[in-house]
Amino acid sequence: MTTKIIMDTDPGIDDAAAIAVAINNPEIELELISTVAGNVTVDKTTKNAMKLVKFFNANVPVAGGAEQPLIKPFEDAARVHGESGMPGYDFGPEPTDIPVNNAVDTLYKTIMANEEPIVLVPTGSYTNVALLLKEHPDVKSKIEKVVAMGGSIGMGNMTSAAEFNVFTDPHAAEILYKSGVPIVMVGLDVTMKALLTQKTLDTIKTLGKPGEMLGAIFSHYYEGHEGGIPMHDVNTLAYLLKPEMYQTTPYWIDVVTEGPAIGETVADIRGAYHNEKTNAEVCVNIDADAFNEWFIDEVKKMKA
């Protein structure tokens, strides 16, 4: 039994690792990769997605999406992911036929064409997803759930309050969390614990061409922490494939869209403001050792 998913993403180093898992794991059917401005500009994230599809000889369509957040001015994360978004490895000639501004239409057509509801996995800002939900509300019945990397009920990484994906387009995040679709929030509460250790990084580099590629781009990832490097976006796939590694709690999540706390995701932990209703299953803890072992096993499955 496989799970059909669509990734909406902004590769980005950890996004690249998540795409690699999605392409190569036999329990996942990756129907589409749509791209958005986030870690770098959308022309670069689209090229990076195309490079990965070619690298793994995968038959997965790529659709380019939003160049800007809905309202807030765009700020990239090139300081973390490098100017190209995926530095450190030579993927060969740059893609030339770049699909642009067709992500929302392609998302809609792909989701509606499937007989069964599909899982949507956004690992960048949620601009494309928000536009899809606003322009095509009938799509909601065909989305099984959204497993979204982003947010935090603790400390942020763009400000003391806000995580990068939600900070990039808080108005899009607000639309998602008010949409009524089932949501799993995979935020900093777990991704900052799911650090790839140096031992894991050393092992990955020995695992053939895919391991060489991942090891090369990981070495240019400017988000090292004591104990290792975070693989934020990979956690979405890990949750789908190994949910037992995660502890979750249902909360109502509100998104701050203005002021100094813009981009903060606020959990109604007392159930005091929404009549004890919830709108998200929030990942709050993870078995980090199991995550490291799982990721090594995933890289062993990759073929290029």
Ordered domains of the chain (ranges, CATH): 3-301 (3.90.245.10)
Cα dist. 232→23, 245, 259 in Å?
18, 15, 26
Pairing of strands 253-255, 62-64: unpaired
What confidence score (pLDDT) does residue 31 get? 97
Q: Given its phi and psi angles, is residue 156 left (phi above 0), alpha (psi -120 to 50 degrees) or beta?
A: beta
Give per-residue pLDDT as tens, 100-109.
Answer: 779 999 999 9
The residues annotated as belonging to the active site are 232
Rounded Cα gap, residues 8 and 21, in angstroms: 14
Short-list 97, 78, 5, 95, CA closest to 38: 78
What confidence score (pLDDT) does residue 129 get? 98
For CA atoms 38, 43, 46, 52, the dihedral sign is: negative
- 284: phi then psi, degrees, rounded to nearest 5: -120, -15
- At 110, list the tokens: 């792909």
What confidence score (pLDDT) does residue 75 get? 84
* 248 touches 284 (CB < 8 A): yes
Give per-residue pLDDT as tens, 253-275.
Answer: 999 999 999 999 999 999 999 99
What confidence score (pLDDT) does residue 236 get? 98
> Which residues of the chain carry a pLDDT beneath 50?
none
What confidence score (pLDDT) does residue 83 get? 76
pTM here is 0.95
Q: How far is CA 173 from the centre of its chain?
A: 13
What confidence score (pLDDT) does residue 121 get? 98
- At 263, list the tokens: 């981009």
